[in-house]
């Protein structure tokens, strides 16, 4: 049986379909989107024997509950420390399991983390946009938000019992509170003492966070006469400061250009674990030079790849239907 049907019993806000994202369209106002925590998302897919970027569900801290109404499918859960339950039984929060018809799966926020991922040994039937199922939250373009009452059709559903079991959660997947960043590109709009404050201040993650960005609380970082700056390009990780001095770290669904000055840009390798912080968590910025940023990015990439490669090869069971 290759089809499976999942009924979404409950999905809170900000639960959506995501895949590896749609890079390359920023010049047209389209950010790459994709998972808030790309490492955990890849871990879920690779633990199943999937390609790292196969479409899955991104679960927000509001949680998700679904019932398998038809078919059988193996799935992987990774990201954050969510409470995962099926059949009245509490499971580890990073795990590969199989859902059969009638089984219910629930994810609720647990001891830590803001985003969890469900990857499937199946394809999700949804319309791509610009070659990707990733959902751009503000527009709804892409595979789309996951909402209560919806049915999700899976094609080519497989069971992979050889992949069952816990997925190791490495330290690098835990929330990151020290964000390495390169000052600029609009640091010239901030006084020298404000640039020092950026490195010294302990900020707090505010309640204002979503897929576009995370606003921080703490000392104000007032810009100097920056009201007239022409709109400039933005990257995921840009630390944008509004006129009242409040910094926002821009994330997966960021706007691609904007007129607020960017005091610093967080390294890509620190953003996944930063996304797992929760409101009131303390965070600080660690300025590094562009050369240091390159060395850090390359070293972190090697570490992540070693972890992911081990996951991909760990399961004794390769996809069973793929052979036949």
Partner 1 sequence: MPAPEPDPATPVFRPVAERGLLVDFAASFSDAAHQAVLRLDRALGDHPFPGLAETIPALVNLLVVFDPLVTDHVKVRAHLQRLLARTEAPPAPGRLHRIDVCYDGDDLAPDLTQVARQTGLSTEAVIERHLSATYEVRLYGFAPGYAYLGGVPPDLRLDRKPAPVRGVPAGSVMIAGPQCLVTTLTMPSGWWVIGRSPAQILTGDPGRPFLFDVGDRLRFHRVPRSALPGLGGGAAR
Give the rounded distance of the alpha carbon of 206 from its chain centre.
18
Q: Say whether residue 230 binds partner 1 (CB under 8 A).
A: yes
- Residue 36 is given by DSSP the state S
The window from 20-28, 108-116, 163-171, 200-208 that contacts partner 1 (CB under 8 A) reads: 20-28
The window from 64-72, 78-86, 111-119, 228-236 that contacts partner 1 (CB under 8 A) reads: 228-236
List Cα–Cα distances, 162 to 97, 102, 172, in angstroms.
Answer: 10, 22, 26
Q: Considering beta carbons, is residue 169 or 239 the nearer one to partner 1?
A: 239
Q: Considering beta carbons, is residue 25 or 320 the nearer one to partner 1?
A: 25
The window from 7-15, 135-143, 158-166, 201-209 that contacts partner 1 (CB under 8 A) reads: 135-143
The single residue among 267, 277, 308, 311 that binds partner 1, judged by CB under 8 A, is 267
List Cα–Cα distances, 59 to 40, 90, 253, in angstroms.
Answer: 12, 18, 16
* Burial tier of 305 (Cβ tally within 10 Å: 0-12, 13-18, 19+): exposed
How near is the Cβ of 93 to partner 1 at its closest, in Å? 30
Buried b (16+ CB within 10 A) or exposed e, 46-56: bbbbbebbbbb
How near is the Cβ of 56 to partner 1 at its closest, in Å? 22
Q: Considering beta carbons, is residue 128 or 161 the nearer one to partner 1?
A: 128
- What tokens were used for 267? 């390294």
Structure-derived torsion over alpha carbons of residues 9, 12, 23, 80, reported in degrees to the nearest 10: -100
Q: Say whether residue 182 binds partner 1 (CB under 8 A).
A: yes
C-alpha dihedral sign at 108, 116, 12, 9: negative
Q: Considering beta carbons, is residue 29 or 168 the nearer one to partner 1?
A: 29
Rule CB under 8 A: which residues touch partner 1? 23-30, 127, 129-131, 136, 138-139, 141, 181-182, 184-185, 188, 192, 228, 230-233, 235, 237-238, 255-258, 265-269, 290-291, 293-294, 296-298, 301
């Amino acid at each position: 049986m290759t089809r499976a049907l999942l009924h979404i019993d409950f999905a809170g806000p900000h639960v959506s379909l995501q895949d590896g994202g749609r890079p390359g369209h920023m010049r047209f106002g389209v950010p790459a989107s994709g998972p808030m925590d790309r490492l955990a998302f890849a871990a879920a897919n690779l633990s199943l024997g999937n390609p790292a970027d196969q479409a899955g569900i991104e679960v927000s801290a509001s949680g998700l509950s679904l019932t398998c109404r038809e078919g059988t499918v193996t799935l992987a859960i990774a990201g954050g420390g969510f409470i995962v339950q099926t059949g009245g039984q509490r499971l580890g929060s990073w795990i590969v399991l199989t859902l059969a018809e009638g089984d219910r799966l629930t994810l609720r926020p647990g001891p830590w983390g803001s985003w969890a991922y469900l990857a499937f040994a199946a394809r999700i039937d949804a319309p791509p946009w610009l070659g990707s199922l990733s959902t751009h939250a503000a527009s709804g373009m892409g595979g789309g938000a996951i909402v209560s009452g919806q049915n999700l059709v899976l094609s080519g559903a497989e069971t992979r019992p050889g992949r069952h079991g816990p997925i190791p959660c490495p330290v690098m997947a835990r929330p990151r509170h020290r964000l390495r960043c390169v000052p600029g590109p609009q640091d010239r709009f901030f006084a020298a003492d404000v640039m020092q404050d950026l490195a010294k201040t302990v900020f707090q993650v505010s309640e204002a966070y979503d897929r576009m960005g995370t606003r921080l609380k703490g000392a104000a970082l007032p810009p100097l006469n920056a009201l007239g700056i022409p709109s400039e390009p933005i990257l995921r990780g840009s630390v944008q400061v509004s006129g009242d001095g409040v910094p926002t770290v821009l994330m997966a669904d960021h706007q691609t250009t904007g007129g607020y000055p960017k005091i610093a840009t967080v390294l890509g390798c620190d953003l996944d674990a930063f996304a797992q912080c929760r409101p009131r968590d303390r965070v600080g910025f660690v300025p590094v030079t562009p050369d240091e940023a390159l060395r850090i990015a390359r070293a972190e990439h090697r570490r992540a790849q070693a972890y992911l490669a081990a996951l991909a090869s760990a399961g004794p069971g390769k996809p069973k239907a793929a052979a036949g």
